[in-house]
Structure 1
Amino acid sequence: MMLALALLALAGPRETIGIYARWGAFRDTAPTRCFAVARPSDVARRGEAYLSIASWPGRGVRHQLYVRLSRARADHARVMLVAGERRFELTASRHDAWAPDARTDSAIVAAMRDGRALSVESVDTGGVPFVDGYALQGAASAIDAATLACL
């Protein structure tokens, strides 16, 4: 229940589709979008960090990755997402990261379905490396529930 309350605080009003282990599935209506979302495993130290996989039916977008980083990223630091044996370089701003294209979004979701954990790694503005870790138990169910809610 704490997960649901924490995730609801991330944005405005929304419909809860379901909670699956550490992942939640939600639906917004204006504009219509559905998403699976989780906070890093170490929530107490991670502030506003989260990772979501969203579908925007009105835009023809499905399974789009978005990551809110736990720390501000250094200007030239790479952001890497690691899921199992797969590594993906993300496009990033100071606080946010996303897949560079739809093909990478799809590959990340496939890697999430096969993995037990996922990490997002970078270097902060002070030059200190950081890792935001996510448990993937419940991720596939949350992604599927969110996708179905926006068909």
Structure 2
Amino acid sequence: MRLATLLVSVALIAAPALARDSLGMFGTWGAFSDPQAPGGPRCYAIAMAAPSTMQRDYQPYATVGTWPRQQVRGQVHFRLSRRLLPNAPITLIMSGQRYALVGGGGDAWAADKRMDAAIIAAMRSAGQMTVSARDASGRGFTNSWSLDGAATAMDAAAVGCARLR
């Protein structure tokens, strides 16, 4: 139950909105809909990164979001644990595949819709994903996420948004 409370807390911090509805907890992932979000309804699956004793500037999490009115589906976003070194590579590793992410500050995204789709497809069958980058001082760091429940949470978020068009 503690993980569920933490995920809800991260969701509240991660995405300001007027009202959020829980669509369920699935393994280490949660699914939420936000029918009154600024800019229109949205839904997302979210998970916190694995705990770490290393320095953190931010609480890291990963999301897969959908904004039906903007025709945006399956957008992958990572909030990383540290401020990023400008223009340094950000790499997602999952099931032996590497994806070059884009980002800045403490955030990273897929480079385009095609990469979003490839990452989501890999998330459905992988057990874990890890993002590696360099922090603002040039030190390397990684954040890892369990993918237990990710596929179901992503599906729940997509179904949740199908009702919010």
Which interval holds the TM-score relative to the shorter structure?
A: over 0.9
- The whole-number CA distance in structure 1 between the counterparts of 2:112 and 2:31 is 23
1:25 matches 2:25: no
Deviation at 1:33, TM superposition (A): 0.5
Deviation at 1:27, TM superposition (A): 0.4
Partner of 2:49: 40
**Quick one: structure 1 residues 43 and 141, their matched pair in 2 at CA, closer, same or farther if it must change by over 3 Å?**
farther
1:147 matches 2:147: no
Unaligned runs of 5+ in 2: none
- The whole-number CA distance in structure 2 between the counterparts of 1:14 and 1:5 is 10
Contact 1:7–1:24 (CA under 8 A) maintained in structure 2? no
Unaligned runs of 5+ in 1: none
SS class of match (2:124): helix
1:101 matches 2:99: no
- The whole-number CA distance in structure 1 between the counterparts of 2:150 and 2:52 is 17
Q: CA RMSD in A?
A: 1.5
Deviation at 1:44, TM superposition (A): 6.5
Runs of 4+ in structure 1 over 6 Å off:
none
Partner of 1:2: 5
- The whole-number CA distance in structure 1 between the counterparts of 2:130 and 2:28 is 15
Work out the percentage of aligned pairs sharing the same amino acid.
Answer: 36
**Structure 1 residue aligned with 2:103, among 92, 99, 103?**
92
- The whole-number CA distance in structure 2 between the counterparts of 1:66 and 1:73 is 15
TM-score, structure 1 normalization: 0.93
- Aligned residues, how many? 151
